[in-house]
Amino acid sequence: MSKLLIVGTVAFDAIETPFGKTDKILGGAGTYIGLAASQFGIDSNIVSVVGGDFPEEYLTMLQNKNIETSGIEIVENGKTFFWSGKYHNDLNSRDTLETQLNVLADFNPVVPEDYRDAKIVMLGNLHPGVQMSVIAQMTEKPKLIVLDTMNFWMDNTLDELLEVISKVDVITINDEEARQLSGEYSLVKAAQKIHELGPKYVVIKKGEHGALLFNHDNVFFAPALPLEDVYDPTGAGDTFAGGFVGYLSQTEDFSFENMKNAIIHGSNLASFCVEKFGTERMESLTKKEIYGRLQQFKNLTQFEIELS
Amino acid sequence: MSKLLIVGTVAFDAIETPFGKTDKILGGAGTYIGLAASQFGIDSNIVSVVGGDFPEEYLTMLQNKNIETSGIEIVENGKTFFWSGKYHNDLNSRDTLETQLNVLADFNPVVPEDYRDAKIVMLGNLHPGVQMSVIAQMTEKPKLIVLDTMNFWMDNTLDELLEVISKVDVITINDEEARQLSGEYSLVKAAQKIHELGPKYVVIKKGEHGALLFNHDNVFFAPALPLEDVYDPTGAGDTFAGGFVGYLSQTEDFSFENMKNAIIHGSNLASFCVEKFGTERMESLTKKEIYGRLQQFKNLTQFEIELS
């Protein structure tokens, strides 16, 4: 079992989908990654920043799941990062209604002393300068650095982003972003180009269409579980990443074969995340539910065919 | 091994994609279905109609693949059905440039005497009245009737289409059409509604995003193989259907477990179809290539995870 250092926003979201809307609720990439990874019984710590308005009970909830919060700086006279968005009817696209950076605008991440030797680092979607600062604070070279990012940083801070990408082992990115970053429409070719930027492993997230894991000539695909209803896609990508790194932290096996399992675990957890608004489903999730649904993933994908 | 009766167009296509364009070449749902199914060493016959302009060499090519053409009526003073289309840059959508129904306008299908007891019937995309006429000509109730259709018939001949749907065991349909037919956005709910219309098995084709097989509570998913280049998607859906029924005709096992394999075989063959224009790749395809790529499908999807 390896210590997992998570970097990502811990924030407020207000979400509207065709199925309803929420007031300000707990959100943020760091939160979703932490909740998903916590299912694997590992030690983790989130590096983030919140304002004085951030409820103590949210931190307590994370701590109760064995997620350390000593990396979450509290700026008493500041306000917590807030995002609000409205999903379209197909839930595949959304409009951002409001973004208040607040304390995130001046975020200067500090990695807690006892996590500077963490073997696994998960860099959630944030300014690449923040991500690089975290890498620089590690006193021992991590065994695995996983990066999540998005098109916003490609548009606005590409050079800094490419610098971070060159330092990581795994990048998770969605299909459109992979195309933008590589200039290739074919995802196979896009992954090849992204390998050349540094990452040995390229994970391309396709939302409801599943996720692809590339390691040069090796390719693995995990579908998204077909669900009767999706209520809120917020956090699904972060939950996927959290399941992926959580499983790898638990098993400490970074072979391609084991990464396949990590991808399945990530997809499995993401399938729960979208079933309720915000973090609600992830907070109540049990091991029994998780393993029951892994069986569904097996049923969905495994076949016996004669190769002769 | 069961005799397979195929009903579908045998036609001319002119295709333009970002990678090039063709003159009038061999096309049609019946052609693609037949070529794919022929890989399974079965007896098949295509019910269709062509004009006097249809080259004898195309019929010879089909016969050389053990596809009987006695069901293909030749209207000497008529012209063969012609379709031309242009694909958009992403190859996921296309514009029809021209459709000449020609001899298809008055197509009155006649099932050859020796195929009226065929155990498996594949109804390719055609007017539902034509599909129903073929079902009516069967002297023995087929063990499996598979229907392919499209939104055009939902828009224009819905009552006739629903009548055919009520008679078949399997329907193959794309995701948007499944939504249109069922009025449900969720594909899980759409499949449930379509089950209620008759078919025990519902196959939802998602193009580059793979295909889902539903049999009430059982669900199976086959991805499309990620390819470096897709040159021409024409015929991929028909090739998928042809591989599906071809494998079922060979094995005569209509269990859900075996249908999984049929779906994989269909996806496998479709992955070849798109690699060249028209039927070119399917005409030259070898068993060795097929089994090599089935291994790639296994590598892509199979995993070993502990369920404890």
Instruction: Give me the tens of pLDDT residue by residue for chain A, a chain 308 residues long.
Output: 889 999 999 999 999 998 899 999 999 999 999 999 999 999 999 999 999 999 999 999 999 999 999 999 999 999 999 999 999 988 888 999 999 999 999 999 999 999 999 999 999 999 999 999 999 999 999 999 999 999 999 999 999 999 999 999 999 999 999 999 999 999 999 999 999 999 999 999 999 999 999 999 999 999 999 999 899 999 999 999 999 999 999 999 999 999 999 999 999 999 999 999 999 999 999 999 999 999 999 999 999 987 76
Work out the burial of residue B93: count CB atoms within 10 Å of its CB; fewer than 13 is exposed, 13-18 middle, 19 or more buried.
Answer: exposed
- Please tell me the distance from the alpha carbon of residue A192 to that of residue B144, in angstroms, as a whole number: 43
| Partner B contacted by A99 (CB < 8 A) | no
**Which domains, from first to last, does chain B contain?**
9-300 (3.40.1190.20)
Helix (H), strand (E), coil (C) string for A212-257:
EEEECCEEEEECCCCCCCCCCCCCHHHHHHHHHHHHHHHHCCCCHH
| Partner B contacted by A286 (CB < 8 A) | no
Distance from the Cα of A256 to chain B's closest Cα (Å) equals 11
User: What are the C-alpha distances in Å from A276 to residues A91, A231, B231?
Assistant: 13, 6, 41
pLDDT tens digits, one per residue of B205-227: 999 999 999 999 999 999 999 99
| Partner A contacted by B217 (CB < 8 A) | no
- Length, in residues, of chain A: 308
SS3 content of chain B, % helix, strand, coil (to 5): 40, 25, 35
- Please tell me the distance from the alpha carbon of residue B162 to that of residue B196, in angstroms, as a whole number: 11
What pLDDT does residue A92 have?
A: 80
pLDDT confidence bin for B90, thresholds 50/70/90: confident
Out of A209, A264, A302, name the one closest to residue B209 (CB): A209
- Please tell me the distance from the alpha carbon of residue B246 to that of residue B295, in angstroms, as a whole number: 19
- Please tell me the distance from the alpha carbon of residue A43 to that of residue A118, in angstroms, as a whole number: 10
Task: Provide ipTM, 2 decimals.
Answer: 0.93
Among candidates B149, B265, B23, B17, which has minimal Cα distance to A303? B265
Q: Do A303 and B220 touch (CB under 8 A)?
A: yes
- Please tell me the distance from the alpha carbon of residue B192 to that of residue B173, in angstroms, as a whole number: 14
Residues 108-167 in B contacting A (C-alpha not used; CB under 8 Å): none
CB contact at 8 A, B174 and B147: no
Distance from the Cα of A292 to chain B's closest Cα (Å) equals 8
Judged against a pLDDT cut of 70, whether residue B308 lies above it is answered with no
pLDDT tens digits, one per residue of B233-252: 999 999 999 999 999 999 99
What pLDDT does residue B161 have?
A: 98
Average pLDDT over residues B123-134: 98
What pLDDT does residue A89 have?
A: 82
What pLDDT does residue A308 have?
A: 65
Cβ contacts of B154 within 8 Å, gap of 6 or more:
B161, B177, B180, B181
Cβ contacts of B57 within 8 Å, gap of 6 or more:
none
Residue where the block lists tokens 């070279």 = A141
CB contact at 8 A, B127 and B9: no
Instruction: Find the distance separating the first CA and the last CA of chain A, reported in whole Å.
Output: 41
Out of B188, B209, B229, name the one closest to residue A228 (CB): B188
Q: Do B299 and A218 touch (CB under 8 A)?
A: yes
Out of B187, B295, B301, name the one closest to residue A226 (CB): B187
| Partner B contacted by A97 (CB < 8 A) | no
What pLDDT does residue B91 have?
A: 84
Query: Which residue in chain A has the smallest CA separation from B299?
Result: A220
Angle at B127 between CA B121 and CA B133, to 5 degrees: 50
